[in-house]
Amino acid sequence: MSGSEKRLAWITGGSSGIGLAAARELAGAGYAVALTGRREQALQSACAEIAAAGGSASYAVADVSSAEQVKRAHREIVDRCGPVSVLVNSAGFNIPERSWSTLVSEGFDEAIAGNVNGSLYAILEVLPGMRAMQDGLIVNLISGAGRYVWPGAGPAYTTAKHAVFAMTSSLNMEEARNGIRACALCPGEVDTPIMDARPQPPSEDQRSRMLSAKDIGTFIRYIAEAPPTMNFTEVVIMPTGHVRKDG
């Protein structure tokens, strides 16, 4: 299959963590992958790694919290690679203030911009092309904190991810008739670099019992390769042995 014939997967937050794992897996499945992130050097390294493994990869630098930057990145990607068949919204982050006693409005706004707005902007860009194709898959990385309320995630992140969960449900209600599928992918704790940003980073033993980024990337590939008649509207993935404590 030549590069011009490859279906295109666009991964935001694609230079590390779950985004990079998804890019590796989708490239291995025969997709051309386009990565978006804020750090050009990291994006270049990710694309070089995928190309060295025989895949097709390109990138566009963008901060997903900026509608204009997302629009520009999408335009670059489409001009270079064609329409997006799969969108993986992996970009997102949490803030250090993870309790009501420390939360300030600026931090809350930042969490909403990076998680909710960033997902929204990319979705709005790909929908017209997917409608024209009468086909498309949107995977929103939401985390278990977007399906349940986990105190350790903090009110800002929990609120933002619950909003993306609702957005995903709304997408399926309206866009299924256009052949578009949306998945709210809700993993529990995943051992990625974002763990280092926690107020109290987990120990090596704790990390060893978490999901891996590859686990989630492999499942995203599974969704992408599933027949178009199947829609995984909501998927919760927990590490084996995880016990919920949310009541």
- Where residue 105 sits, what CATH number does that domain have? 3.40.50.720
User: Is a pLDDT exceeding 70 seen at residue 111?
Assistant: yes
Banded pLDDT at 216 (limits 50, 70, 90): very high
Per-residue pLDDT, averaged over 102-126, amounts to: 97
Chain position carrying tokens 């449900």: 169
Active site residue 121: no
- 48-84 in b/e form (b: 16+ CB < 10 A) is eebeeeebbbbbbbbbbbeeebbeebbebbbeebbbb
Please check whether residue 242 lies inside any domain of the structure.
Answer: no
Domain count, the chain: 1
146: left (phi over 0), alpha (psi -120 to 50) or beta: alpha
| Residue 217 CA neighbour count, 13 Å, CB half | 23
User: Is a pLDDT exceeding 70 seen at residue 32?
Assistant: yes
Q: How many angstroms separate the Cα of 69 from the Cα of each of 61, 63, 66?
A: 8, 6, 5
Please check whether residue 131 lies inside any domain of the structure.
Answer: yes
User: Is a pLDDT exceeding 90 seen at residue 152?
Assistant: no
Res 244: pLDDT? 54
Stated pTM of the model? 0.90
Res 197: pLDDT? 63
User: What is the domain range of residue 30?
Assistant: 3-237
Catalytic annotation, pick one of 31, 121, 157, 222: 157
Please check whether residue 243 lies inside any domain of the structure.
Answer: no
What mean pLDDT is reported for the chain? 91
How far apart are the C-alpha atoms of 207 and 203, rounded to whole Å?
A: 6
Closest CA to 139 of 215, 231, 73, 72: 231
Per-residue model confidence as pLDDT tens digits over 160-198:
999 999 999 999 999 999 999 999 999 988 777 666 666
Please check whether residue 247 lies inside any domain of the structure.
Answer: no
Please check whether residue 147 lies inside any domain of the structure.
Answer: yes
Please check whether residue 244 lies inside any domain of the structure.
Answer: no
Per DSSP, helices labelled H in the chain are 17-28, 40-52, 67-81, 105-111, 118-133, 155-175, 204-208, 213-225
Please check whether residue 179 lies inside any domain of the structure.
Answer: yes
Please check whether residue 246 lies inside any domain of the structure.
Answer: no
Residue 7 φ then ψ, to 5°: -70, 150
Residue that wins the pLDDT comparison between 210 and 131: 131
What are 8's two structure tokens?
A: 């295109």
